[in-house]
């Protein structure tokens, strides 16, 4: 167990950062064209199609990355919780 000692603050800061990152990505996934008349904005059907396709790809890419990084944050939290328990036990000489 001794070789698994870790700075609890480091784990907390990592998971906090990842939580922020994941939250930022999740909120950033709302790439929505707020205006309804896309044709009137861009004046070209081909450009509208290209814009919508790119927006769709970016949105999916961000959502996929957000889901993955959120899962990473959860695993970091779980590891941190587990290691906090181990650290307490170690400091009390129980392990």
Partner 1 sequence: MVWTSSDPGAGNPGLIRHEAQVRDTLASTISDVVLVGLQSVVSAQGTAAWTGIAATAFFETAAGYLPEVTTIVGGLTNDADALHQYANDVESIKNDALALGSAESEVQSDLSRWNHKLNSLESLSYLIVDPAEQEENRDERRRYEGYIEGANWTLREYGRQWELLASRRSTADGLCVAKLSSEASRGGLAAVATAGDSSDKALLDSLSGLSAAELAILFALHPELADRIAAIDNPELVARWWAGFGDPLMPGVITPAQQALIFGMPQVIGNLNGVPLATRVEANKLNIAAAKAELEAELAQLWATQSDSGVDFSAYAKQLSQQIAYYDVLLTETVTFVDGDGNPVSTTGHNIVYFDAEADAIAEYSGLLDPVTGGVPDYVQNLGIYIPGMNSTILSFGNEVVRSEVFTDEYPGTVAMITWKGGEFPDVWGVASGPNAAQLGAKLADFSHSLYGMPDTVDVVGMGYSFGGSVLGNAEAAGLALDRSLQISGAGMGDNVTSLDDYPNSSDAPHYSFMAPEDYVVGPIQGIDAGDLGHGASPLSTPGVIQLETGWNIKDDPTSGLVQGHEDIWKRNSTAHDQMEQVLIGGSVELYAEPEIVITYTGPPVYISPLYDSGYEPVMQDVPGGAE
Nearest to 18 by CA among 53, 69, 78, 57: 69
Q: Is 24 one of the binding residues for partner 1 (CB under 8 A)? A: yes
Smallest separation (angstroms) from partner 1 to the CB of 20 = 6
Q: What is d(CA 74, CA 68) in angstroms, rounded to the nearest whole number?
A: 10
Q: Is 88 one of the binding residues for partner 1 (CB under 8 A)? A: no
Among 36, 70, 72, 77, binds partner 1 (CB under 8 A): 72
**76 within 8 A of 15, measured Cβ to Cβ:** yes
Q: Is 85 one of the binding residues for partner 1 (CB under 8 A)? A: no
68 CA to centre of own chain: 7
Residues in the interface with partner 1 (CB under 8 A) total 49
Run of H or E residues at 32: none
Q: What is the DSSP letter of 7?
A: -
Interface ranges with partner 1 (CB under 8 A): 3-7, 10-11, 13-14, 17-18, 20-21, 24-25, 28, 31, 33, 35, 39-47, 49-51, 53-58, 60-62, 64-65, 68-69, 72, 75-76, 79, 83
């Amino acid at each position: 167990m001794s070789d698994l000692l870790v700075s609890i603050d480091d784990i907390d800061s990592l998971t906090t950062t990842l939580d922020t990152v994941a939250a930022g990505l999740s909120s950033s996934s709302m790439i929505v064209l707020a205006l309804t008349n896309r044709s009137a904005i861009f004046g070209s059907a081909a450009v509208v199609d290209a814009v919508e396709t790119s927006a769709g790809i970016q949105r999916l890419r961000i959502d996929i990355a957000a889901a993955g990084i959120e899962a990473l944050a959860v695993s970091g939290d779980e590891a941190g919780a587990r290691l906090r328990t181990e650290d307490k036990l170690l400091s009390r000489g129980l392990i």
